A and B are shown apart, each in its own frame.
Chain A
Amino acid sequence: MKVTQGQFSFLPDLTDDQIRQQAQYAIDKGWAVSVEYTDDPHPRNTYWEMWGHPMFDNPDAAAAVFEVNECRKAHGSKYIRVIAFDASPGWESIRMCFIVNRPAQEPGFRLVRQEGEGRVVRYTIESYAVREPEGARYV
């Protein structure tokens, strides 16, 4: 099951050149591009691991693609995303976010039912991948 979160996630995977163009768009807007990775695909997993620092003063997007490829070398079997942070007052938040690398096998999510007090049933989802410990989820 293909995880769809962030921008462009319903499209075919972006090529390096498309990543470069998107990152360049962000840089031209004055946003800081950075690379993050994770092996927990839950949609509420907001804070991924940072791959290096946000690139605040790189004028060209080749650096972002370079870092994506460096990150792929180390964490090629995990999810990698590129985010663009807008530091301007009033925003101070992520303006762009798209997945650039995903595991070969994405097992998808299961529905978890929890019996509560009375006859209440609470529903949540859990990725099949997170049954394994961190680091051993996608090999």
Chain B
Amino acid sequence: MDDDAPRPETVDLAAAFESSGVRDLLAELDETMIGLGPVKNRIRETAALLLVDQARRQMGLATETPTLHMSFTGNPGTGKTTVAMKMAGLLHRLGYVRKGHLVTVTRDDLVGQYIGHTAPKTKEVLKKAMGGVLFIDEAYYLYRPENERDYGQEAIEILLQVMENNRDDLVVILAGYADRMDRFFDSNPGFRSRIAHHIEFPDYSDAELLRIAERMLTDQNYVFDPAARQAMADYIPARRAQPHFANARSIRNALDRARLRQANRLFTEAKGPLNATDLSTIAEPDIRASRVFRGGLDVDRRPAADAAE
């Protein structure tokens, strides 16, 4: 910071909150993300911490940049990537990262295939993420204890080194399922100590998922008719009981299939010209036709297997 500038006697946190655009961002977060109470709280706390820290720096109190590396744990489809994107925007507005872009990577982007391939690859990704946020999805795949020649360890070492030495240049967010992340941190103590913020993403409730479904449809200019809305409300708990349930992502897939069925229905049933309402209404049969109501994947597979024999 500039040492010559006179230091202010007082700071107005509310004004800083207003002028940095953080308020807008938090409001947007509240409005666009449904549920996720604890996550929103943590983000608000982080924003407050950073604002206070900024004010302290203006008064010459704080010396070091706080460690902002984070870990997001939660089940699939709970909004980790979306929140990471918002987090990048937040850190950018507060001046903790210079560009505020989000670079999303998985093991494939960091770990090479042969000796000497990993370090340049990892460094390339880290360089791309500098000035922004590096989001490592399913971070535990980096570490494979069953294979001692695995190159993941090399990527981890470079990652740790850059996380420590270039703390001002980039923020690293690790994401993945809670239990596997815990095991990952246990076997890599270096990571745990370098990550200050652990944020837990809860599963969505059925009511929240229904609101998410409606929000998704609105974004695509579709609506449920009342019966379809009820069908969707029945669909969610049924889907949750089946394997591979991925919260909001399952809902999105269900809606994509419902749109498919709606298009097919319109195509086969429509006699005359269709108006905008017909084209954008999801009706009950579009949802009820889902195999989720008939017991899931197995139902479809069994007849196919019989036919093959």
Contacts and interface: CB of A to CB of B under 8 A. Distances in A.
Contact of A62 (B101, B120, B131): B131
Interface in B136-186: 166, 168-170
B217 interface: no
A134 interface: no
B131 A60 contact: yes
Chain A, interface size category, equals 10 to 19
Nearest to B169: A62
A114 B90 CA distance: 67
Interface string A59-75: 11111001100000000
Contacts, number: 35
Interface string B94-136: 0000110100000000000000000010000011101110000
Contact of A55 (B127, B168, B170): B127
A67 B127 contact: yes
A5 interface: no
Contacts of A66: 127, 130, 166, 169
Nearest to A61: B131
Nearest to B103: A59
A62 B166 CA distance: 9
A110 B164 CA distance: 47
For the side of the interface on B, what is the size category? 10 to 19
A62 B131 CA distance: 7
Chain A binding surface SS class: mixed
A57 B128 contact: yes
Given A55-B127, A66-B127, A60 B166 contact: no
Nearest to B97: A60
A93 interface: no
A72 B84 CA distance: 34
A55 B127 CA distance: 9
A20 to B, nearest CB: 10
A12 to B, nearest CB: 20
A58 interface: yes
A63 B99 CA distance: 12
A55 B131 CA distance: 14
A37 to B, nearest CB: 17
B132 A59 contact: yes
Contacts of A55: 127
Interface in A21-74: 52, 55, 57-63, 66-67
Contacts of A61: 131
Interface of B: 98-99, 101, 120, 126-128, 130-132, 166, 168-170
Interface of A: 52, 55, 57-63, 66-67
The 7 closest A-B pairs by CB, nearest first: A60-B131, A63-B127, A62-B130, A62-B169, A60-B130, A63-B130, A59-B99
Given A63-B131, A66-B169, 13 more contacts: A55-B127, A59-B101, A59-B128, A59-B132, A60-B99, A60-B130, A62-B130, A62-B166, A62-B168, A63-B126, A66-B130, A66-B166, A67-B127
